[in-house]
A and B are shown apart, each in its own frame.
Chain A
Amino acid sequence: MRRLLGAQELLGPAVLVIVVALVGTVVSTSNASYFIDALVKVAIVVALYLFIGNSGVLSFGHISFVALGAWTAGVLSVPVGEKPAIMPNLAHFLRDRATGNLTSLLLAAIVGGICAFAVGLPLMRLSGLAAGIATFGVLEITHNLLRYEESIGPGLNTFSSVPETTTLRQAAIGALVVIVVAYAYARSRFGRLLRATREDAAAARAVGTSVYRQRLIAFTISGLLAGLAGGLYVHLLPVNTESVYLDLTFITLAMLVVGGATSLWGAVVGALAVSALDSYLAVAENGTSLFGWHIDLPAGTRVIVVGVLMALVLILRPAGLTGGREFRIWPRSS
């Protein structure tokens, strides 16, 4: 019974994602792309939640794992015949090979996980501001290397000719996989121990928890999921180094904070709510009408509105829209 009541925490996010995907199938093709994008954002934000939400440590570096996942899946999926055109300086072992869609996503996740483990190995000793700046450093380094290292990707060019296989169905399945992993982690022994270190590091240490080890585990899984999300992203739209850098870091952090960083439900709600607002404003920037009023917003309004929203939520409701609580129909029996 207790297990069953716990499962409702998974039910809310999963049903929400499925509903969004189903609504996406009935709208026009041009609008469907907004739904796919929102689902990929859900995957990224839930990956962020897995680490930031459970550990309470801020990370500006997760978009590097998204970027590395995107690079992995992208390089492997461009058809061999078109590689010399967009990636003339590609290393030999990458040039003559191309993989299928699923393999590329799997490898993207693995690369994301391995890199997160390698980065976390030294970095998880830090907390607070030092952790924030150090993970920012990771983002800068990744961006810098991907931008100029043409043997592993297109460098300054855009990843064109990647098969656009991230359909509504794939994005929804991807988001669901990420959600299930995050749920399973949060309910596992590791998730509970990590949340204990978040609430009171000294007390958690006193009962024998290694803060470092728990954070490293979460960081690695979170990097794995971020890599998978990056793979989905590169199969959705032509990615370049700028599209997996500061702007994406900002919008995904905003989503997590707006929804409520300490719960899976908050991550999913935040990602979908901000995506909905953002997509609506994107449409409005091209001119639309609401209740008979003609709206024609100038380009750039989106970031202003999202920025104001994020600042307002932080000031008025620091725990986020969901209050950082999980989805529950029946209240906790205790």
Chain B
Amino acid sequence: MMLAFLNIDWQTLADATALGAIYALMAVGIGLVFGVLRLVNFAYGQLVMAGAFALALASQWGWPVWAGIALCFASVLVLSLLMDRLVFRPLRGQSPAVMLVATFAVAFLLQSVALLWFGPLGKIASSLSSLNQPVTVSGVDIRKITILAVVVAIVCLVALSLLLERTTIGLHMRAASLDFQTARMLGVRANRVIGVAVLLSGALAAVVAVMLTVQNPLVTPDFALRDTIIVLAGVVLGGMNRPIPATLGGFAIGFATGLLGGALPTNQSQYVPAFVFGAVILVLLVRPGGLFTRRQVAERV
């Protein structure tokens, strides 16, 4: 009833779910690094952009699909390790605002490197475009990538939560995100935990790069920039401190954006960003600590 009234069909609903799934992965990637470093990585979208350019180059050189994906993972992982070594490590212990501004600078830096390297028109990553073809599920046409995105997101999230809950390094990471100082005193190795978090977050960026290039094969220097801004809002919306609220926030904002963008006519859907960010601000006013977290008391002195 409600769905029919809002003029939402199953295709839109499925696409919104897929967008939510991809944004949830980005949210986890941002949240992992925030957990151990207290650093909001504004340059996360540029990691995704680098991976997308790797895919585009691979398809331009005529590489097979697996080699393209391997190149994507390799370049994103190397870039995230470099980012950690050159920027995050010297900034450890600075205030969150300083670190946010610093990653803002890194984001613009990487974007203009891409602009210099690949030009403003960008490149096409076409090797995986067959995934855009629809399959028919009980009378409804759904693109393969939509299903794949949801499945991959679920697999990644399950694997990640197993890692966090069932392994020693996962325990260390959870301890570090609760209280880094105390965790270190109890024998958690700071650099190792941070290294693992950065690598995991990079791997998620590579996965997101593959998904996004299938949906949008034209890779430009500002690829994934808008997505990052929206995901960041989603992460803060959900609650930055814990992985599950952050993931839920990312999913919620992706789902809402996809649904509104798909369901409204163009002369209204162009205002979706204003609407979404308006909603984000409203939520932040009511619950500054996040939507899905327990209410916190003011800091005591």
Contact = CB atoms under 8 A, between A and B. Distances in A.
State yes or no: do A and B come from one complex: yes
A268 B278 CA distance: 33
Contacts of B289: 130
B135 interface: no
B229 interface: yes
Interface stretch (A139-147, A183-191, A219-227, A323-331): A139-147
A5 B36 CA distance: 46
Centre residue among B104, B233, B236, B289 by max chain A CB count within 10 A: B104
B263 interface: no
Chain B CB within 10 A, most for which of A57, A125, A311: A311
Contact of A300 (B112, B236, B278): B112
B100 A129 contact: yes
B280 A254 contact: no
Contacts, number: 121
Given A126-B288, A130-B236, A304-B113, A140 B274 contact: yes
A141 B278 CA distance: 7
A150 to B, nearest CB: 11
A141 B284 contact: no
A130 B94 CA distance: 17
Given A129-B100, A304-B109, A311-B109, A140 B236 contact: no
Given A58-B97, A132-B97, A300-B116, 18 more contacts: A125-B288, A129-B40, A129-B236, A133-B232, A136-B232, A138-B281, A140-B277, A141-B278, A144-B270, A144-B273, A148-B271, A250-B108, A300-B115, A301-B112, A303-B112, A307-B112, A311-B87, A315-B87
Interface of B: 40, 87, 90-91, 94, 96-98, 100-102, 104-106, 108-109, 111-113, 115-116, 225, 229, 232-233, 236, 240, 270-271, 273-274, 277-278, 280-281, 284-285, 288-289, 299, 301
B106 A307 contact: yes
B98 A310 contact: no
A304 B110 CA distance: 8
12 contacts: A122-B281, A123-B285, A128-B96, A130-B289, A134-B280, A141-B277, A253-B101, A253-B104, A303-B109, A311-B87, A311-B102, A315-B87
A257 to B, nearest CB: 6
B100 A58 contact: yes
Given A125-B285, A140-B274, A318 B116 contact: no
Interface residues of A, number: 43
A296 to B, nearest CB: 14
A14 interface: no
Interface of A: 56-58, 122-123, 125-126, 128-130, 132-134, 136-138, 140-141, 143-145, 147-148, 202, 246, 250, 253-254, 257, 298-304, 307-308, 310-311, 314-315, 318
A211 to B, nearest CB: 12
Contacts of A315: 87, 90-91, 102
Nearest to A304: B112
B108 A303 contact: yes
Contact of A311 (B106, B112, B225, B301): B106
Given A58-B100, A250-B104, A315-B90, A202 B109 contact: no
B271 A144 contact: yes
B260 to A, nearest CB: 13
A128 B105 contact: no
B288 A314 contact: no
A148 B271 CA distance: 8
Contacts of B240: 129
A246 B96 CA distance: 20
A29 to B, nearest CB: 29
Contact of A133 (B91, B106, B236): B236
Contacts of B281: 122-123, 134, 137-138
B285 to A, nearest CB: 5
Nearest to A58: B97
Contacts of A253: 101, 104
A130 B112 contact: no
Contacts of B236: 129-130, 133
A253 B42 CA distance: 14
Contacts of B229: 136, 140
B54 to A, nearest CB: 20
B192 to A, nearest CB: 22
